[in-house]
């Protein structure tokens, strides 16, 4: 329960209890009828002060003196609580934005998700699952609020503008996902990102083939066309259902906790210079090496057992999380 709601409930209960005490006091001590006693209690509690509706004894006036003091304290407490609620409502957003800005200022080696629509939400969820730092940028305030409530760092602004990307510390970012509503916005986001940080990796969404070509020309590392991809997958699900089932299994880990990962081989790794057979990655770790991406950019699919592992190679592997963590420790030269 929110603190403001809890305080209002407590205040309401205090008012009801105070009126009840006054009503009972006027009935028992002043000998008022029940309706007159309730009227007198409410009148005293609200400090209206119309006067005594019936003559009162000394004992009744003594009780009323105590009750007036109690009512004034309750009124002051109510004013204080309402003032506090108003102040908190006015400054809550200011404090929250200040807190978020401090966290954003500490970001480095993070990822920027431009747009928190359906595609952006999916990308953000995948990055969050990978436990990497990220920030969501969107020009719609409701989506920024949604992202904050979902546990993301979020920034309100236009991702196509350089000043917004600078606020997201693009100079220290490792990657950017352009998932905005239109191809033109995504194109501008790619251009701005590559201009401000040439080393950053950029993945973009494109609806049209022409936009896809232009995004690659201005530096996008990966461009995805959701409609084309969906159409291809629909056809493959009919023509090659078992292949499609395997790809779904491999990429989304359906039913089993199996993942496909990429791990970079460090110069300190004991695997450098060994063949896949000698490394016993599959035999000891139960991890399958699907491909090797060489340092010069070549991709070797289904590498032979004699293929040598070299520093700065990327191993594309599939396996369960724990074996993958042990493999990563070996290829990075860090003790697990």
Instruction: Give the domain CATH number at 192.
Output: 3.40.50.720
**Domain end call among 102, 132, 156:** 102
188 vs 88: CA distance, rounded Å? 39
- CATH number of the CATH domain containing 260: 3.30.70.1450
| Three-class secondary structure assignment of 78-93 | HHHHHHHHHHHHHHHH
CB atoms under 10 Å from CB of 252, counted, come to 10
The residues that bridge with 176 in the sheet, in sequence order, are 112, 202
| 115 vs 96, higher pLDDT | 115
**34-45 and 3-28 helices, crossing angle to 10°:** 130
Same domain, 85 and 41: yes
Same domain, 205 and 128: yes
Candidates 215, 197, 230; CA nearest to 118 is: 230
pLDDT of residue 336: 47
How many domains, in total, are found in the chain? 3
pLDDT of residue 254: 46
Segment 288-336, tens digit of pLDDT: 999 999 988 899 999 998 999 999 999 999 888 888 888 988 888 765 4
Percent of the residues in the chain that have a pLDDT greater than 70, as a whole number: 92
Q: If you average pLDDT over residues 16-40, what whole number do you get?
A: 87
Same domain, 135 and 76: no
pLDDT of residue 94: 66
Query: In this model, does residue 256 exceed pLDDT 80?
Result: no
Segment 221-255, tens digit of pLDDT: 999 987 777 777 788 788 888 777 777 766 665 45
196 vs 199: CA distance, rounded Å? 9
pLDDT of residue 111: 96
pLDDT of residue 142: 92
Same domain, 190 and 304: no
Same domain, 68 and 119: no
102 vs 167: CA distance, rounded Å? 11
Helix, strand or coil for residue 315?
Answer: strand
Beta-carbon contacts of residue 38 (< 8 Å; ≥ 6 apart) = 19, 23
Given a contact cutoff of 8 angstroms between Cβ atoms, the answer to whether 135 and 167 are in contact is: no
Q: Does a structural domain hold residue 248?
A: no
Q: How confident is the model at residue 1 (pLDDT cuts 50, 70, 90)?
A: low
Candidates 65, 63, 67, 85; CA nearest to 75 is: 67
DSSP of 131-178, one letter per residue?
Answer: T--EEEEES-HHHHHHHHHTT-EEEES-TTSHHHHHHTTGGG-SEEEE
Q: Which domain holds residue 268?
A: 256-332
Q: Does a structural domain hold residue 246?
A: no
Same domain, 219 and 312: no
Segment 123-174, tens digit of pLDDT: 999 899 888 999 999 999 999 989 988 989 999 999 999 999 999 999 999 9
Q: Does a structural domain hold residue 241?
A: no
Same domain, 88 and 113: no
Q: Does a structural domain hold residue 244?
A: no
Q: Does a structural domain hold residue 239?
A: no
| 165 vs 107, higher pLDDT | 165
pLDDT of residue 8: 75
Same domain, 11 and 85: yes
**Domain end call among 179, 195, 230:** 230
């Amino acid at each position: 329960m929110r603190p403001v709601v809890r305080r209002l409930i407590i205040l309401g209960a205090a008012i009801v209890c105070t009126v009840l005490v006054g009503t009972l006091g006027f009935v028992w001590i002043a000998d008022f009828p029940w309706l007159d006693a309730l009227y007198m209690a409410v009148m005293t509690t609200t400090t209206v002060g119309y006067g005594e509706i019936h003559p009162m004894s000394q004992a009744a006036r003594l009780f009323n003196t105590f009750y007036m003091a109690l009512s004034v304290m309750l009124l002051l407490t109510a004013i204080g609580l309402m003032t506090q609620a108003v102040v908190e409502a006015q400054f809550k957003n200011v404090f929250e934005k200040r807190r978020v800005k401090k966290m954003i200022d500490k970001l480095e080696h993070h990822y920027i998700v431009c747009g928190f629509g359906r595609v952006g939400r999916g990308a953000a969820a995948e990055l969050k699952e990978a436990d990497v730092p990220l920030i969501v940028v969107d020009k719609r305030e409701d989506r920024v609020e949604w992202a904050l409530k979902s546990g993301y760092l979020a920034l309100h602004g236009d991702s196509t503008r350089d000043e917004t990307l600078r606020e997201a510390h693009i100079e220290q970012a490792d990657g950017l996902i352009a998932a905005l509503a239109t191809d033109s916005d995504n194109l501008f986001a790619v251009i701005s990102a590559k201009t401000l940080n040439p080393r950053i990796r950029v993945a973009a969404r494109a609806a049209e083939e022409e936009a896809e070509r232009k995004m690659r020309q201005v530096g996008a590392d990966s461009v995805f066309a959701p409609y084309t991809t969906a159409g291809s997958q629909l056809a493959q699900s009919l023509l090659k259902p078992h292949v499609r089932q395997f790809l779904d299994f491999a990429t989304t880990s359906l039913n089993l906790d199996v993942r496909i990962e990429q791990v970079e081989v460090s110069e300190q790794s004991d695997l450098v210079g060994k063949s896949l057979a000698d490394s016993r990655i599959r035999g000891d770790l139960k991890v399958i090496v699907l491909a090797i991406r060489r340092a010069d950019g070549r991709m070797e699919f289904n590498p032979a057992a004699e293929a040598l592992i070299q520093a700065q190679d990327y191993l594309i592997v599939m396996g369960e999380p724990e074996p993958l963590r042990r493999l990563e420790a070996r290829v990075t030269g860090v003790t697990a």
